[in-house]
Structure 1
Amino acid sequence: MDVLNWSLARRTLFAAFFAVVTAFGSGVVSAEDAKRDTLPSWNDTAPKQAIVDFVSRVTKEGGADYVPPPERIAVFDNDGTLWAEQPVYFQLAFAIDRIAALAPEHPDWEKTPPFEDILKGDLKAVAASGEHGLLEIIAATHSGMTTEKFAAIVDGWLARAQHPRFHRLYTDLVYQPMLELLVYLRANGFKTFIVSGGGVEFMRSFADRVYGIPPEQVVGSSGVVKFEMPADGKPVLMKEPKVEFVDDGPGKPVGINRFIGRRPIFAFGNSDGDLQMLQWTAAGGGLRFMGLVHHTDAEREWAYDRHSAVGKLDKALDEATAKGWTVVDMKTDWNVVFPPER
């Protein structure tokens, strides 16, 4: 099982049921262009000014806040920070679609919860099945196959599946301002990482082409993978229905330490699941940047925070306010949310 799903069980599943590639996204932007047209989709408000000021200070050689390039580590949550996450996390939408696709091979599912509930479209009943039901869904859709086969299935789904509200590919629903920010940071010597509760293999399938972040710079939840040598002599890695690591909440600083090995100086999230990552970043020496995306735009995206089933922003918002972290008001601070349709 891809551990993302354990994380989803913990923080979102039950309520979740109730409730673009542009030049910037593909990384095809020169450092000169990034510096000349600094964050064009950001309004000239306090968050943009804070970002530009921070980058200017840590990259000014001889300055009091100068940080050498190897230490310029920037980490980003994915769901709700780099791309949308409503009405349910996109990987959960993938799992639900996979159940429908696999149903002809499993006629028993028609009378077996939670599969029968998914096939009937009764998501409230699915939610009522609890963690046990979720684990069954994930075991059926994320394990029992090689890592290569799983990646191919994800690629195929992302190439055709459309969001129910916007009727666009899920990979089109990335945030243009954040794509620009990633490019801007890299143009100034930062190394950018994804640190997300989402499944690491799911995210690696698109992170490079959408965000310009290579697979080795994606940290996420993971399931157990086993090496096997088939009769044809070609080794494979098989995905098993077992949890290995949950990269959410307090697991994020642990994942950063384990897989990156340096404390970030720049961190962006959008929910309480990112609080510990922000706290860990803030606790380091020297100048630090901690940011939150606050979803306030119901017209262009969604407006939600403290009481949301998905991407709840409560304690992290209070701490950001108390400590002066940067909070991006999506409605006020971004003049564009998603890249234009192609």
Structure 2
Amino acid sequence: MKKTLLSALLFSLCATAHADPLSAWNDTAAKRAIEEWVTNATDADRATYIPPEKRYVVFDNDGTLWPEAPLTFQIQFALDEVKRLAPEHPEWKDDPLVKAVLSDDIKTIAAAGEKGLIQLLTLTHSNITTEEFEQRVSSWLDSHSDRRFGCRYDRMGYQPMRQLLDYLRANGFKTWIISGGGIDFMRVLSQKMYGIPPEQVVGSFSLSEFSLTDNGTTLRKTMKGAFNDDAANKPVAIHLFMGQRPVGAFGNSDGDLAMMQYTAANPDYKTFGLLVHHTDAAREYAYDSHPSASGKLIEGLAQAKQKGWTVVDMQKDWKTVFDPELCAGKSAP
């Protein structure tokens, strides 16, 4: 009996020791490329070794760590907030954009472009304290689910990418988010969803205003000094917030191209680049050059071939998209 228990215990320990940290990935070239680079970067006896203090890697968020189609989560939050707040603001009733939101007229909202987006963000993201904004995001997460998949938004991180983050950190890498999404919005979710603390989240931002109150101090969100952390601004943000060039970059669209190029040009270390290509219409979405795609991937695919970046075919390279224990998902609509 004791021998049987001992054998079972040893088997369990061996199984745990050999558990695949990237079990949500299929055994394809993409997975092998990740493992090879990490092995080379962490083996002190190899010329490709990267010291721990230089192992900074950057991840886009929308479309790389969670879905961005048909709308990014933050835009959906803004639309839902307009609907929630509209009864408190009768002065909004004649605004064509608000009318479009209230009637779910996505075509009109999309036609409003960047100007319309700024207007929605002004209505829902400004003139409130940072604490109130965080509470609004948390309340929205507790009360809303993705229309297609029926899951809470904070349970829809891509399982393969969440495993990749854990795998990199287990090997001494420091993981950062560098995204066009709002910095305050992402910071509400990043620790819980990805294990990335708020100070390692960099996104689009505007300047808050400090003031003294009867109860202490407060920061109030405004739209002043807005910085859009996308495209060519991503390397600028990396330099500003990180202070050193990354050794790995992970994105999914041409908006991440400058970040990928900046990382690949690191003169001191062998870098790694990875692009998530959305090819799975059944389990998620399939897009790259479609006019309605929020994250087009055209130039990035061309440069990936030239620079040796890894392109992840979501349909072929991922066993699962979402963690089934968090988000079982649904088939294609």
TM over 0.5: yes
Tell me how far apart the structure 1 counterparts of residues 17 and 37 of structure 2 sit (CA, whole Å). Answer: 16
Unaligned runs of 5+ in 2: 1-14, 327-333
The offset of 1:33, in angstroms, is: 6.1
Aligned position for 1:97? 80
Match of 1:38 among 7, 10, 21: 21
Please state whether the residue corresponding to 2:26 is helix, strand or coil: coil
Picking from 39, 43, 68, the partner of 2:51 is 68
Give the partner amino acid of 2:261: Q
* In 2, Cα distance between equivalents of 1:306 and 1:322: 19
Query: What's the counterpart of residue 260 of structure 1?
Result: 242
Distance in 1 between the 2:71 and 2:203 partners?
A: 18
Q: 1:327 to 1:33 in 2, by over 3 A?
A: farther
Q: Distance in 1 between matches of 2:21 and 2:124?
A: 42
Displacement after TM superposition at 1:210 (Å): 0.7
Alignment counterpart, residue 192 of structure 1, candidates 175, 187, 203: 175
Is 1:335 aligned with 2:319? Answer: yes
Question: Which residue in 2 is equivalent to 1:320?
Answer: 304
Q: Partners in 1 of 2:85 and 2:70 — Cα distance?
A: 23
For residue 227 of structure 1, give the secondary structure of its aligned residue in structure 2: strand
What is the correspondence of 1:1-342 to structure 2 with a 5 Å cutoff?
36-230=19-213, 232-285=214-267, 286-308=269-291, 309-342=293-326
Supply the RMSD in Å over aligned alpha carbons: 1.5
Name the structure 2 match of 1:13.
none
1:281-329: CA deviation from partner (whole Å, max 9, x where unpaired): 0001221100000000010001100224311111111111222210000
Query: CA distance change for structure 1 residues 262 and 172 in 2, over 3 Å: closer, same or farther?
Result: same
Q: CA deviation at 1:241?
A: 2.1
Q: 1:152 to 1:35 in 2, by over 3 A?
A: farther
SS in 1 for 2:172: coil
| C-alpha spacing 1:245/1:317, structure 2 compared with 1 (3 Å) | same
- Alpha-carbon distance, 1:121 to partner: 1.8
For residues 33 and 225 of structure 1, do their structure 2 counterparts lie closer, same or farther at Cα, with a shift above 3 Å needed?
A: farther
- Residues in 1 aligned to 2:111 and 2:39: alpha-carbon distance in whole angstroms: 50
- In 2: Cα distance, 1:180 partner to 1:35 partner: 15
Paired with 1:154 and 1:35, the residues of 2 have a C-alpha distance of 39
Distance 1:279 1:295 in 2: 21
Contact 1:78 1:195 in 2 (8 A): yes
Identity over aligned pairs, percent: 52
For residues 24 and 114 of structure 2, the distance between their equivalents in structure 1, rounded to whole angstroms, comes to 40
Residue 129 of structure 1, CA deviation: 3.1
Following superposition, the deviation at residue 233 of structure 1 comes to 4.5
Deviates more, 1:109-118 or 1:323-332: 109-118
Paired letter, 1:292: L
What is the alpha-carbon distance in structure 1 between the residues aligned to residue 18 and residue 264 of structure 2?
26
Distance in 2, matches of 1:334 and 1:218, equals 25
TM-score by length of 2: 0.90
1:35 Cα offset (Å): 7.2
SS in 2 for 1:111: coil
The one-letter amino acid of 2:53's match is P
SS in 2 for 1:43: coil
